Amino acid sequence: TAAIFGAFADTWVQIEHRRARWTPDYRDEVAASIKNHLVDLDLLPLTEVTAAIAAPVLGRCERRAPDMAKKVRQRLRAILDQAVEDGLIPANPIPLPRRRRNATKRTHMPARTARDEVGAILRSAEVSEVSRGVRRAHLLAAFTAQRIGEIAPAEWPEIDFKAATWSIPRARMKRKDEQRGDHAVPLPPVLLAQMREW
């Protein structure tokens, strides 16, 4: 019998989870994005997944969750690439996304410092379909005013829950003056409480 898309996609997630050493959270996030946005393909044999059938599915994803659409398309292509490698289909029917000819014009994006503006950004982020890591990074940025270059590589040993501080190694700071020592960032109680849950 022909391989069914939904079952094959589940297998692909487990294979990639082991191969790429995804965290359990990221594995669950990838699986959920496939289940949420590609559910209409679940019962189709892989041989029946065509560009024409996938296009409206991807289009709905673009309208409902534009931030997730690119990832979903990449994951669909990766699943079908695996099916090609396994000899289940002759070629990947999903075309690569077209490159836009006009480069996006860069505009100045001033920092948002007013409390109501920051609150609006965080509320929008809370309902958008982003990973837990991105959502947590938003909160760290909002409560500590640190750069993403300091936030993304943060590690738990840098957090002192008793002193309510985050010690960022000087080597990761923009100004790498070793004599200044690590950069101590105070953690407000509301953020500290959330970090304890994380």
pLDDT at 87 over 60: yes
Task: Look up residue 159 and give its DSSP letter.
Answer: E
Model pLDDT, residue 100: 54
Structure tokens at 3: 């391989």
Tell me the C-alpha distance between 79 and 171, whole Å: 40
pLDDT for res 106? 60
Q: Are 141 and 185 in contact (CB under 8 A)?
A: no
pLDDT of the residue at 176: 60
Please give the span between the terminal C-alpha atoms of the chain, in angstroms, as a whole number. 44
Does the global pTM surpass 0.85?
Answer: no
Residue 66: predicted pLDDT? 85
- pLDDT tens per residue across span 110-166: 666 677 777 777 777 667 666 788 888 888 888 898 888 888 888 999 999 999 999
Residue 1 is predicted with a pLDDT of: 54
Distance CA 107, CA 19 (A): 39
Give the 3-state secondary structure of residue 64: helix
- Taking only the tens place, the pLDDT of each residue in 172-195 is 766 666 677 888 999 999 999 999
Residue 85 has pLDDT above 90, yes or no: yes
Question: Per residue in 27-65, pLDDT tens?
Answer: 999 999 999 999 999 999 999 999 999 999 999 999 888
Write the pLDDT tens digit of every residue in 94-105.
988 776 555 555
